Chains A and B, each alone.
Chain A
Amino acid sequence: MIMTQSALDPLERARQVAAASRLFAAIAIVLILLNVIWIHGVAASVRALASLDHEPMLGPFWVIGAILPQIPLALPSLFLIGALEKLRDALKEYEEGRAFSLASAHAVRLSGQYAAAALIAKVVVAPIAKSILEGRYRWEFSYETTDLAWFAFALFVFALGRVLEAASAIKKENDEIV
């Protein structure tokens, strides 16, 4: 019985850490979103409005035309927000003591997928979009050595999500039999 208590304590601690991490993930989402709005929304609009003084004939569509191409540049951050949002879903399940539910496993898998997509967007999509926007029209990549590790991490979380999904399906089936 004492052993069981000692085994349960880490699970209780993990639940507390999950609650704190969920709050951190929410703060991270807000900060990343504010950054996206500032760089790709406000700053792009200001630039477009400034150029509007010189070319008044183009009208407000020029502003829309200036902001729309910013979307591929914002994709890495948007995908990362998606990954963090899925993490929050999984952490909520953990916080409520449902560590091995199908919902939490599904959220883990999706989080890995979004994180991998964010890294692909950071390394490939955003640099190519930038090169097109700046009129260079070249295949450009923005690659750091550490991106490879983060990509491996994202794939690992995706694979772990699949394992947990399979485990929770087996658990559900066992529960049904019992």
Chain B
Amino acid sequence: MTEAALAPLQRAQQLAGGAATAAVVGAVLIALGAVADGASPALDALARHQVTFDLRGLLELLRVFGLFMVLALPSFLLAGALLDLSKVLDEYGKGHFFTLKASAGIRKAAEGALYALGFKIVGSPTIYSWITQEGRGFIWHFEPFDLGLIGFAAFVAVLGRVLEAAARIKAENDEIV
């Protein structure tokens, strides 16, 4: 019976090792995708306003780089969250399922995803409009699907907190024993 109960855990351990690599590849792909998506508006802006070798040109260059960063930031944050997940999966691959490191990694990954959603919905559109001087107010690009993703990411953060607390209690018990 114990063998039967342990088998899924061993399978999860084997899967986690491969999934950690997949998560890193995913993070790299997302970062590259963000660079590709963000570079074209930035390059357009560069083409429209010729960059000169003076203070004005430098400011223009900074503005274009700022635009690129604002557009790419949500994806970079998500890529960071995936890297956190890959660390968790790496721990799982070693068979350390309920360690403080793995549990904190889950919470951090979920919080990164929440920040990414925050920037995607309100941060990036607002800052973009401020930089391009199209508007000065707060701009929302909100879809109901995003609301579901916020709920999902918030839940993963809660799960991370619960596991973190459990790992603390387990560590304390181990110390006492």
Contacts and interface: CB of A to CB of B under 8 A. Distances in A.
A125 interface: no
B57 interface: no
B43 interface: no
Interface in A56-82: 76-77, 80-81
B158 interface: yes
A32 B148 CA distance: 8
B158 A76 contact: no
B30 A148 contact: yes
B70 interface: no
User: Max chain B CB contacts within 10 Å: which of A13, A90, A91, A150?
Assistant: A150
Say what secondary structure dominates the interface of chain B.
helix
A127 to B, nearest CB: 14
Interface residues of A, number: 56
B45 interface: no
A148 B78 CA distance: 10
A152 B165 contact: no
A167 B27 CA distance: 29
Say what secondary structure dominates the interface of chain A.
helix
Contacts of A99: 162, 166
A14 B149 contact: no
A77 B155 contact: no
User: Max chain B CB contacts within 10 Å: which of A14, A149, A157, A159?
Assistant: A149
Nearest to A114: B152
Interface stretch (B2-10, B46-54, B58-66, B131-139): B2-10
A11 B165 CA distance: 5
21 contacts: A10-B165, A11-B162, A14-B161, A18-B158, A21-B154, A24-B154, A32-B144, A36-B144, A84-B148, A146-B30, A146-B78, A149-B30, A149-B75, A149-B113, A149-B116, A152-B22, A153-B156, A159-B15, A162-B12, A163-B92, A166-B8
Given A21-B155, A153-B153, A167-B98, 12 more contacts: A11-B165, A14-B161, A32-B148, A77-B148, A145-B33, A148-B29, A156-B19, A159-B12, A160-B159, A162-B11, A166-B12, A167-B9
Interface of A: 3-4, 7-8, 10-11, 13-14, 17-18, 21, 24-25, 28, 31-32, 35-36, 76-77, 80-81, 83-84, 87, 90-91, 94, 99-100, 108, 111, 115, 118, 122, 145-146, 148-150, 152-157, 159-160, 162-163, 165-167, 169-170, 173
